[in-house]
Amino acid sequence: MTVQEMPNSRTLPLYLTKEHKDYLDREWSYNPNNSKTVRLPPTTKLNPLSYRNENRSPLPVYNPLSSSTAENSTPEANIKFSPEIDESKDDLSKRVNEIIETEASYTSHCSNLAIQYFDNLSSFKPEFPAAVQITKECIYALIEIHNNLLQEMKSIRSQNQSIIEQCNKIAKAIAKSGISVFWYSMYCTNYDQLVPYEFHIKNTTTSDSPGSAPQEFFLGIKNFLECQQAPLKRKDLSFMSLCQRPIDRIVKYKLFVKEMKNAFVELNKDTTTLEKAFEMISQQLSKIDESRISMLENGQLNSLVNFAGAEIDPKYRELKFGANFFGNPVAIGFASAIFLRNSKPEMIHSPIILYKGHLVILEYNQVISRHSPGKYKPKFVLPLSNTSMVKEFRYGLSVNLSTNIKLQFRSSSNQYQVILCFLSTSEVDFWKVKFDLLINVTHQGSCEYKSERDHLFCLVPRNTTPCWKDEYDDPQNTLHYTASQLSIQVKFRFDLYLKSKLHIKYDELRPGPKYTVMLWLIDVYNNERHFKQIASKEIPFYACNRAIHD
């Protein structure tokens, strides 16, 4: 081990303690030619500073101005006796290990959120808001993405390469697959809708309370997860705390790459790869922030529609039932809805809102009061998973208008039909594509009874007549099943003004009694006037005043 003396400084003792001070105060002299010590007279008291030859001094020569011996403290040594350690590379190694450990912890927390919380929610019958369902799908997608990223990080770390190469490869892996713009933008959008849901959970104190899962369920899962942690390293594993983890995680990637880049600068290493990764991560975070789906339409719908009216089940009203319950609208337009009430056909011209999981048919609110605000209220709410598109007439409703879509849906043991009539061929073609995608492809909808879909939210007006009704009886302890069906023909007509403006094809109905329904211009005008700012601009629907859509 070499001793390096600092320039322009004198050699200092490493330790200057009380024993040194006592020794200097004593009246002793040292004879180099004799091992014995000699007592000096008081008038010739010597100290190490009186020696001109430093080699003969009993103690190393020191600078009295550097530190006072009276303080009995050790001055800082100006000589390094230990080998130099590359602190920057050691710091890089620690940061790489940290990002791998936290990645493993992050995937574990996401798995707990999906398995322990979201999967167990299916045991509760009321349907949960769309934000909960979408968040669950996002979490499962993120688990797969980050499990693959974790395995790639571990593989890079185990390779026989320098820490510089490992840092570059890990940064490239994060920038390439660590941040999915699509899934994280969807997650961040729906995370905002979970806050009122959590508030409802905290205020649900008994298992008998209507609404979503009770507080005891979430508290029990939280305690179960936290008790498995080390006592000194316990973290909050509540539902909302775990939901916050993905949002916190994506911003840490940018900070990690930035700190590695700063360490590279100190080591005089090339930072080109890290700079590219940093720039890519920054762009991805900006896209996530910009592409978060706006809920502007739902805000406007909540001001027009009273979703939590008297017709809504109380267990849904406690969730502050509103447009956000269904998610973001896919399309908003207009249709004339024909259905059966008391075995007779009725028709209303309505704004219709298509969500990813439901179709909402609105009705104009004739009486607006403090208890029933809003110009509109839901007339029908159809769960698309329990709905089928009827392509051939077998029973139920039949209408002479060619531009129509016939939907059949189930509520409990009954099946109902609703015919949506449109005023143009291009309009009906647009809606057929949307319904076919969401009903037949996405949800694989069917009006046949399925127990796992029985809890889905559905709204049917009172006294609505089913076209198919399941009936069970038990004569002589033997279960019998019968089904009653109803078929009615409807003749669709327009008032004189609309008839002169439209060119609609009509289909021939079978011989027999027919009911007639009439579409009036005033109904079309009022609905378009209220929904002209919200209706989807890509829908080529008929408008009384075409200028508002051009």
Q: What is the mean pLDDT of the chain?
A: 77
Report yes or no: 487 and 396 within 8 Å, Cβ to Cβ: yes
pLDDT confidence bin for 352, thresholds 50/70/90? very high
Report yes or no: 395 and 468 within 8 Å, Cβ to Cβ: yes
Q: Provide the H-helix boundaries in 421-539.
A: 425-435, 496-501, 521-531
Mean pLDDT of 340-346: 89
What is the per-residue pLDDT for 79?
Answer: 44
pLDDT confidence bin for 144, thresholds 50/70/90? very high
Burial 269-280 (b: 16+ CB within 10 A, else e): bebebbeebbeb
Higher pLDDT, 444 or 475: 444
The Cα 87–Cα 537 span in angstroms is 61
With pLDDT > 90 as the criterion, what percentage of the chain qualifies? 25
With pLDDT > 70 as the criterion, what percentage of the chain qualifies? 69
> How do residues 79-115 score in pLDDT, each as one tens digit?
444 444 455 677 888 989 999 999 999 999 999 999 8
Q: What tokens were used for 404? A: 């129509």
Report yes or no: 493 and 444 within 8 Å, Cβ to Cβ: no
